Amino acid sequence: MLKRSLPPLAHRLRPQVLSEFVGQEHLLGEKGFIALMLARGHLDSMVLWGPPGCGKTTLAILLAGVVEADFFQLSAVTAGVADIRKIAKLGRENREQGRRTVLFLDEIHRFNKAQQDFLLAPVEEGSLILLGATTENPSFSIITPLLSRARVAVLKALDLDASMDLLRKAMVRLADDYGREISVAEEVLQRIAAYAEGDARRGLNLLEMAFINLDPERAEIAGADLKPLLEGRGLAYDRDGEEHFNQISAFIKSMRAGDPDAALYWLGRMLESGEEPLYLARRMIRFASEDVGNAAPQALQLAINARQAYEILGSPEGELALYQVAAYLTTAPKSDAVYLAMKRVVKEIKKSGNQPVPMQVRNAPTGLMQNLGYGDGYVNPHRDRINPGLIAALPEKLAGAAFYQPAGNGYEATVCQRLQEREQLLRELKSSAAKPADKRSKPGS
C-alpha cells in the first residue's frame, strides 16, 4: 500500500545526469552543437524550441548542472519584470564571484516585447545565461535582438524507439514505487508510444494510470485496459475505440485516393473528438508537398492559408478552412515526383559525398577567382536561350542524373513538355557541335 503522495511519473523519471537524457542526439551526440559547446566548458544562452514533452525543462536543468551554475526557473505565464530584475541582480553578484547563473524561462513566447527587452541587458553583459523554452516558432514569438544573443536549439519529439525505452524504464520505476510486479506486452507499449506522439508526459501518464487501475488479481496490462482510460480522459478519437494513428492514416489515405467524402468524414471525426486543429493543418501542409506536389503547385499555399485562417478565426469558424483545403487536396491532381526526387537526391549525396561545383556555375566575385576560371563558360539563359551554358550544372560524376521525374499529371504535364523540349534542344546542340567543320573552298575564292 502506497503511503505517500507521489509526484507525476515524468518528474520521478527525470534524469540526474546528462548521459541519462533520452533523445535529441542531433544536439547532444558527439557532433551536436550543445555537446561541442559543453566540451569547451561553455554554456550559451539558448531558446529551446520543441513540442510538448520532448524534454526542454529537463535539458535546461541538466545543462545548468553540467556547468555548475546557479539555476532559477520561472514561467512566463506568471513571472514579470520584477522577477527578472531580482534574478539578474543575483546573477551580477555571482559573476563578480566567478559563478554562472542560469535562468530557465518556460513558455518564453508569452513574454511581450517590453518584457523580452528587459532580458537583453543581463544576457548581453553575461549576468544571466538564458534558457528559454517555447513550443512556438521563435522567429515569430521572440524579438530579433534577443534571438541575436541566443542560439536556437530545435528539439524533436521523441521517436518511437526513444519512447519505448522510456516506457520500459517507467515500468521498472512503477514496480518500485508501488511495490507490485506487473508486466506489459511490447505491442501494448507500442500503442502507448504511438498515441503519445513523442510527448513523454502524455505516454507516461497513460502508462501510470493503466498500472494503478489494473485489477489487483491481474499481473499484466493488456490493450483493452487502455480503452476506458483513453475514453475517460478524452484522449480517444472516437467512441468505437479506434486509435489516433489509425484515424490520421485513414484521413491521409482518403485524400491520396481522391475520395472527398471519406477524407472529410475522417477530418470531422478527429475535430469533433478534440484533435488539435493545427496538427491536422500541419499534416495537410505536408500532404500538399508530398502527395500533390507540382501537379497542383498552388496546393501548398492553400494549405498554409488554411492554417493561418484557423489561427485568425479560431474554433469553430476556422474549421471551415480546414474542410475546404481538405476537399481541395483530395480532388486535386496528384504527384509524388518531388518527394521521390528528394529521396533520390539524399541517397545520391550519401553515396557520392562532396562532389565539386563545376567551374562554369561557380560564383566569381573577385578578380582572383575569375583568373582561376570561376564562372568561365557560363551563359545567362535569359540572354541566350539556345546556348547550353547551364548543361553542366551538376557535378561531373553525376552528369545525366535524373532525380526529378514528373508524372505528367496536372501542371506536371506542362513540366514534362518543357523538359522534353529542353532535352531535344540539347540533343540538337550536341549533334551540331559534333559535325566536322566544312573546309571546302567557296566559289570565287
pLDDT value at residue 58: 93
Cell of 87: 534574478
CA 291 to chain CA centroid, Å, is 19
Tell me: the pLDDT tens digits for 412-421? 999 998 888 8
The band of 237, judged by pLDDT with boundaries at 50, 70 and 90, is: very low
Is 384 found in the same domain as 358?
Answer: yes
Residues 6+ apart with CB under 8 A from 6: 12, 177
Is 402 found in the same domain as 327?
Answer: no
**Is 189 within 8 Å of 168 (Cβ atoms)?**
yes
Is 80 found in the same domain as 57?
Answer: yes
**Is 294 within 8 Å of 288 (Cβ atoms)?**
no
Is 376 found in the same domain as 327?
Answer: no
* CATH number assigned to the domain comprising residue 103: 3.40.50.300
pLDDT value at residue 388: 52
Domain end (from 93, 124, 154): 154
Q: Is residue 29 part of a domain?
A: yes
Mean pLDDT confidence for 9-29: 90
The Cα–Cα gap between 100 and 127 comes to 8
Is 33 found in the same domain as 141?
Answer: yes
* CATH number assigned to the domain comprising residue 282: 1.20.272.10
For residue 286, pLDDT over 90 is answered with yes
Q: Is residue 439 part of a domain?
A: no
Is 53 found in the same domain as 106?
Answer: yes
**Measured torsion, CA atoms of residues 317, 319, 324, 327, in degrees rounded to the nearest 10:** -150
Domain end (from 154, 179, 209): 154
The band of 380, judged by pLDDT with boundaries at 50, 70 and 90, is: confident
**Is 128 within 8 Å of 92 (Cβ atoms)?**
no
The band of 223, judged by pLDDT with boundaries at 50, 70 and 90, is: confident
Is 193 found in the same domain as 86?
Answer: no
The band of 327, judged by pLDDT with boundaries at 50, 70 and 90, is: very high
For residue 385, pLDDT over 70 is answered with no
Q: Is residue 38 part of a domain?
A: yes
User: How many structural domains comprise the chain?
Assistant: 4
Q: Is residue 313 part of a domain?
A: yes
Is 280 found in the same domain as 187?
Answer: no
Tell me: the pLDDT tens digits for 333-363? 999 999 999 999 999 999 999 899 988 888 9
pLDDT value at residue 443: 47
* CATH number assigned to the domain comprising residue 198: 1.10.8
pLDDT value at residue 94: 94
The Cα–Cα gap between 32 and 17 comes to 17
> For residue 74, how many C-alpha atoms fall within 13 Å in the half-sphere facing its CB?
24
The Cα–Cα gap between 51 and 23 comes to 13
Cell of 184: 506489459
Tell me: the pLDDT tens digits for 254-274? 999 999 999 999 999 899 877
Q: What is the total residue count of the chain?
A: 445
Is 145 found in the same domain as 41?
Answer: yes
The Cα–Cα gap between 5 and 11 comes to 13
Q: Please name every residue paired with 72 in a beta bridge, in sequence order, or none if there are none.
A: 103
Is 168 found in the same domain as 148?
Answer: no
Is 182 found in the same domain as 136?
Answer: no
Mean pLDDT confidence for 275-283: 91
For residue 424, pLDDT over 90 is answered with no
Neighbours of 246 (CB within 10 A): 14
pLDDT value at residue 234: 45
Query: Which range has highest mean pLDDT (103-117, 223-237, 358-372)?
Result: 103-117
pLDDT value at residue 252: 97
Which pTM does this prediction carry?
A: 0.54
**Domain housing 399:** 354-432
Q: Is residue 258 part of a domain?
A: yes
For residue 228, pLDDT over 70 is answered with yes
The band of 60, judged by pLDDT with boundaries at 50, 70 and 90, is: very high
Q: Is residue 167 part of a domain?
A: yes
Greater model confidence, 201 or 284:
284
Mapped onto helix, strand or coil, the DSSP state of residue 274 is: coil
Q: Is residue 16 part of a domain?
A: no
For residue 67, pLDDT over 80 is answered with yes
The Cα–Cα gap between 281 and 32 comes to 31
Tell me: the pLDDT tens digits for 82-122? 999 999 999 999 999 999 999 999 999 989 999 999 999 99
User: DSSP secondary structure string, 356-378?
Assistant: PPPGGGS---SHHHHHTTTTTT-
Domain end (from 129, 154, 179): 154
**Is 207 within 8 Å of 191 (Cβ atoms)?**
no
> For residue 53, how many C-alpha atoms fall within 13 Å in the half-sphere facing its CB?
21
Is 383 found in the same domain as 284?
Answer: no
Query: Which range has highest mean pLDDT (60-74, 267-281, 394-408)?
Result: 60-74
Q: Is residue 428 part of a domain?
A: yes
